[in-house]
Amino acid sequence: PGAAGPQARGDRGRPRPGEGQAALNATDNAGMNAAQIDRFFAILQAANPAPQTELEYASVFELLTAVLLSAQATDVGVNKATRRLFAVANTPAQVLALG
């Protein structure tokens, strides 16, 4: 019952300076091999053969953009924003031209 652990340190589990790379290296060998990955995706496909999203999109670029935005907002909020955005810029070049 000493002052060990993230709660006692008050850092909420964040690595201390210099610990970050060591933590990343420790998980390098914890990944899945190709057969495990194939099995994982087969299980997902069996559970949901036709997955749907609430995000609205008309191209791969629009889907990618919406997914990136959805990491910071709800799908409803993303759809509100992308309806207006994609009306004026729905390609990488058009988005870049917006400045």
pLDDT in tens, 44-98: 999 999 999 999 999 999 999 999 999 999 999 999 999 999 999 999 999 999 9
- Extract the tokens encoding 6: 């993230």
The answer to whether position 25 is within a domain reads: no
The answer to whether position 67 is within a domain reads: yes
Sign of CA dihedral 15, 17, 18, 24: positive
The answer to whether position 88 is within a domain reads: yes
Domains held by the chain: number: 1
The answer to whether position 5 is within a domain reads: no
The answer to whether position 76 is within a domain reads: yes
The answer to whether position 26 is within a domain reads: no
For residue 85, which of 98, 72, 70 has the smallest C-alpha distance? 98
Which is more confident, 1 or 55?
55
Q: Is 97 exposed, middle or buried (0-12, 13-18, 19+ CB in 10 A)?
A: exposed
pLDDT of 73? 94
The answer to whether position 19 is within a domain reads: no
For residue 65, what are the domain limits? 60-97
The answer to whether position 44 is within a domain reads: no
- Write b or e for each residue in 3-27: b if 16 or more Cβ atoms lie within 10 A of its Cβ, otherwise e: eeeeeeeeeeeeeeeeeeeeeeeee
Kindly state the DSSP code that residue 29 receives in the 8-state scheme: G
